[in-house]
Amino acid sequence: MAAKKDREKGHATVTVSQEEMEQLTRRVRMLDDRLDKLDSIVTSLVERVMRAPLTLELTCPKCSQQIEINITSNTRLRGGI
């Protein structure tokens, strides 16, 4: 990209070729597709977790006692997050 400075007005003018504009458009579309796929994966994962209870088992580093944490939900998500 070439940038030119308009000395009279003090504004920067950017000239972009048609080829560069098409490449930029392709990159934006690819990024949009990737974000859509990532959103679908996260939504699917959250729906799976919300359907069944999740159990975490931890061991206390001080007393070595085992701690169990249950995460449950009776609400199923619909649509986007």
Place of tokens 């995460």: 71
pLDDT grade, residue 6 (50/70/90)? very low
Asked if 42 contacts 50 with a C-beta cutoff of 8 angstroms, the reply is no
In three-state secondary structure terms, 6 is strand
pLDDT at 29: 95
List, for residues 13-72, the tens digit of each pLDDT value: 778 889 999 999 999 999 999 988 888 888 777 777 777 777 778 888 888 899 887 777
- SS3 of 33, please? helix
Locate the domains of the chain by residue range. Answer: 2-71
DSSP-derived letter for residue 24 is: H
Place of tokens 């007005």: 9
